[in-house]
Amino acid sequence: MKMSFRWFGTSDPVKIEYIAQIPGMHGVVSALYDVPVGEVWSTESILALKQRITAANLAFEVVESVPVHEDIKLGLPTRDRYIANYITNIENLARAGVKCICYNFMPIFDWTRTQLDYINPDGSNTLVFRNEELKNPLTEDFHLPGWNESYRKEDLAKLFELYAQRTHEDLWNALEYFLRAVIPAAERCGVVMAIHPDDPPWDIFGIPRIICDETGLDRLLSVVDSPANGLTFCTGSLGCAESNNIEAMIDKYSRMGRIHFMHMRNIRHLGGGSFEETAHFSNYGDLDMVKICAILHKNGYTGYIRPDHGRMIWGESGKPGYGLYDRALGAMYLNGIWETLERTIK
């Protein structure tokens, strides 16, 4: 596996030089954050980002994310222009040495939590999702760092209206159309696409979500049955649904060679669809990180992996879920598990 760390570019409070000091770090996962969704990323900007990363002796082989324009998800006639741009982005990124592109197909909202700084008994703080605290983003003040900050309330209302007329099947049709166009382009360029599951993996605000469970992942992989059509397997996102058997799913999809990127996050179920994010250490959450790594190791996983969301510890403040310290601990914990597997399992 190739240990990686998400970095939000030069505006990230976490310095890239600090990431490079974490033992065993292969590369940085990043993106261009100032290009409007759906537009072309210029080769110049991609190369400038790459230069910044490689100057710190880190590889830039994974992009998270190239976002998918809402017109594509809605299946609007204007989608072809955005799909053409998406393909240009794949080509430009491939030329710069990128090998894996993470994306998601969640309508309007990316990951959703109800609180970003819940204080744990030990004084650290973390991200939580409590069903009963979910607010209506149209009428209440509710926004999160994963969302497109540029939506005004009017834009949101319009999108809600459009999605209200969409079924799960409509969303599938839109995803299939997108995949049939972009996967052949990715194959040509030697890039793999890795869809991120919906987080949390169920409909929110009455809007459909489809990448939520094994049935959805099976369907996605069969639309275009190519290694270039793969997964970002996010343990914490899929793990929020107690009905998902994370270990069995990782075993199945890694054996198929369709997991290209692992997001390692631990969570604790609070009942009724509520959950909180915990330290990566297995004892703290409901996911068994040792078992997960052992399954990947057994199946010869050589893809990318990154510690996902950490708590805020040691007085750090910054981008919720994306501080330096707890993610660095997570990376070393995972490196330790992996080293043990490497040495003991022949």
Q: CA-CA distance, 262 to 232, in Å (whole number)?
A: 6
Is 65 an interacting residue with respect to ligand DNO (CB under 6 A)? yes
Give the closest residue to 65 by CA, choosing from 230, 196, 251, 200: 196
d(CA 315, CA 336): 25
**Orientation angle between helical segments 79-95 and 43-54, nearest 10 degrees:** 40
Give the nearer residue to ligand DNO in terms of CB position, either 292 or 294. Answer: 292
DSSP 107: S
Q: Tell me the C-alpha distance between 271 and 87, whole Å.
A: 42
Marked catalytic residue, from 82, 163, 253, 322: 322
Q: Choose one: 103-111, 169-177, 178-186, 203-211; the region binding ligand DNO (CB under 6 A).
A: 103-111
Whether residue 304 lies in the annotated active site: no
- β-partners of residue 196 are 104
Does position 311 bind ligand DNO by CB under 6 A? no
Nearest CA to 234 out of 282, 195, 197 is that of 197
Per rule CB under 6 A, is residue 235 in the interface with ligand DNO? no
- The distance from CA 336 to its chain's CA centroid, rounded to whole angstroms, is 23
Q: Which of 5, 7, 103, 333 binds ligand DNO (CB under 6 A)?
A: 103
Q: Which is nearer to ligand DNO, 309 or 327 (CB)?
A: 309
Q: Is 7 in the site for ligand DNO (CB under 6 A)?
A: no
Window 195-234: residues binding ligand DNO (CB under 6 A)? 196, 234
164, two tokens = 């209200």
Q: Does 64 bind ligand DNO (CB under 6 A)?
A: yes
- H/E segment holding residue 2: strand 2-6
x/- binding map, residues 319-338, to ligand DNO, per CB under 6 A? --x-----------------
* Closer by beta carbon to ligand DNO, 71 or else 310: 310
What Å distances lie between residue 332 and 24, 320, 338, CA to CA? 8, 20, 10
247-266: contacts with ligand DNO (CB under 6 A): 263
- Our CB check for ligand DNO shows the closer of 221 and 321 to be 321
Q: How many residues bind ligand DNO (CB under 6 A)?
A: 13
Is residue 309 among the annotated active site residues? yes
Interface with ligand DNO (CB under 6 A), residue from 111, 129, 178, 325: 111
Q: How far is the C-alpha of 182 from the C-alpha of 42, rounded, in Å?
A: 18
* Residue 71 or 294 with smaller CB distance to ligand DNO: 71
To 10 degrees, what angle do helices 168-189 and 214-223 make? 50
Told to check if 318 binds ligand DNO by CB under 6 A, we report: no
Q: Which one of the listed residues 102, 189, 212, 234 is annotated catalytic?
A: 234
- In Å, how far are 114, 115, 187, 233, 338 from 126, measured between CA atoms? 11, 8, 39, 21, 26
Confirm whether 308 is a catalytic residue: yes
Are 337 and 297 spatial neighbours (Cβ–Cβ below 8 Å)?
A: no
Between vectors from CA 81 to CA 80 and to CA 84, what angle results, nearest 5°?
A: 85
Q: Which is nearer to ligand DNO, 29 or 224 (CB)?
A: 29
Beta bridge partners of 27: 4, 59
Among 12, 213, 251, 308, the active-site one is 308
Q: Does 102 bind ligand DNO (CB under 6 A)?
A: yes
Pick out residues in 143-172 that bind ligand DNO (CB under 6 A).
146
Identify whether 196 is a catalytic site residue.
yes
Nearer to ligand DNO, 92 or 232 (CB): 232
* C-beta separation of 329 from 279 below 8 A: yes
**Which part of the chain contacts ligand DNO (CB under 6 A), choosing from 98-106, 133-141, 148-156, 177-185?**
98-106
The reply to whether 263 belongs to the active site is yes
Residues lying near ligand DNO in the complex (CB under 6 A): 64-65, 102-104, 110-111, 146, 196, 234, 263, 309, 321
